[in-house]
């Protein structure tokens, strides 16, 4: 069932920043305690080729998100060590050097499981051994969540593996939701800040 209109899950997840620090990040608490909106975007794997363009695109728009009181957080199921190695790899070598927002390292899949965005299928139980085997790589689709200052999800979207995201659309959604928060008005189709609704 959709998370829209509900609280984001309350979970601590390992994260890595560009300083090489490993720390715990709880998206729900971060939004509520700092009074900020959060854009959380998931990508399948570190060290692949389409993903870096999304990470760089969010980095390039970081100023615009900050103006809108919005934090950006990236996330995959790779380890903090792998995130750090990728952060230290030059953009020309397929790395993400220069990214300054934090990256969740959800190796135990606690959060991705609860969001239901892992490419796991065909779960089967081995009666003999009591073990569970699955198909799929156990990595996430390109899922994006917009969370407001109360921790409520106001947008969720999932793209199939090969489809990159459009950063400006998320800026539009943040603007529209802020408009609703401030004006109490519903935002019609194709609404954009400064244009007539």
Region 49-108 residues binding a copy of itself, contact defined as CB under 8 A? 49-50, 53-54, 56-58, 77-79, 81-82, 84-86, 89, 107-108
Q: How far apart are CA 98 and CA 107, in angstroms?
A: 23
Contact in structure between 7 and 151 (CB atoms under 8 Å): yes
Which is closer to a copy of itself, CB of 33 or CB of 110?
110
Contact in structure between 110 and 27 (CB atoms under 8 Å): no
Taking CB under 8 A as the criterion, the residue among 29, 97, 119, 150 binding a copy of itself is 119
Phi-psi region of 4 (alpha: psi -120 to 50; beta: other; left: phi over 0): beta
- When asked if residue 14 is in the footprint of a copy of itself (CB under 8 A), the reply is yes
- When asked if residue 21 is in the footprint of a copy of itself (CB under 8 A), the reply is no
CB of 44 to a copy of itself, least distance (A): 9
Stretch that binds a copy of itself, among 25-33, 67-75, 96-104, 161-169 (CB under 8 A): 161-169
CB of 27 to a copy of itself, least distance (A): 15
Pairing of strands 70-76, 103-105: parallel
Contact in structure between 102 and 73 (CB atoms under 8 Å): yes
**Active-site residue, 77 included:** no
CB of 66 to a copy of itself, least distance (A): 19
CB of 149 to a copy of itself, least distance (A): 14
CB of 35 to a copy of itself, least distance (A): 19
Contact in structure between 25 and 102 (CB atoms under 8 Å): yes
- When asked if residue 29 is in the footprint of a copy of itself (CB under 8 A), the reply is no
What is the token pair recorded at 147? 């969370």
Residue with token string 């793209």: 159
Q: How far apart are CA 177 and CA 155, in angstroms?
A: 10
Phi, psi of 75 (to 5 degrees): -160, 140
Please tell me the count of residues contacting a copy of itself according to CB under 8 A: 83
Catalytic position from the list 15, 51, 117, 139: 51
- When asked if residue 37 is in the footprint of a copy of itself (CB under 8 A), the reply is no
Catalytic machinery residues? 51
């Amino acid at each position: 069932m959709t998370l829209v209109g509900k609280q984001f899950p309350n979970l601590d997840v390992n994260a890595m920043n560009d300083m090489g620090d490993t720390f715990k990040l709880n998206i729900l608490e971060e939004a509520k305690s700092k009074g900020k909106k959060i854009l959380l975007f998931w990508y399948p794997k570190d060290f692949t080729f389409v993903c870096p363009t999304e990470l760089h695109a969010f980095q390039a728009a970081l100023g615009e998100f900050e103006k809108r009181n919005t934090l950006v957080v990236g996330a995959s199921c790779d380890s903090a060590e792998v995130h750090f190695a990728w952060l230290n790899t030059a953009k020309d070598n397929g790395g993400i050097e220069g990214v300054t927002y934090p990256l969740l390292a959800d190796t135990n899949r606690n959060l991705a499981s609860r969001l239901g965005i892992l490419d796991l299928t065909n779960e089967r139980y081995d009666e003999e051994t009591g073990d569970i085997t699955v198909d799929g790589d156990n990595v996430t689709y390109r899922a994006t969540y917009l969370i407001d200052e109360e921790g409520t999800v106001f947008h969720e979207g999932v793209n199939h593996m090969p489809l990159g995201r459009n950063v400006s659309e998320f800026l539009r959604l943040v603007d529209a939701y802020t408009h609703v928060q401030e004006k109490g008005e519903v935002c019609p189709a194709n609404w954009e800040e400064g244009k007539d609704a």
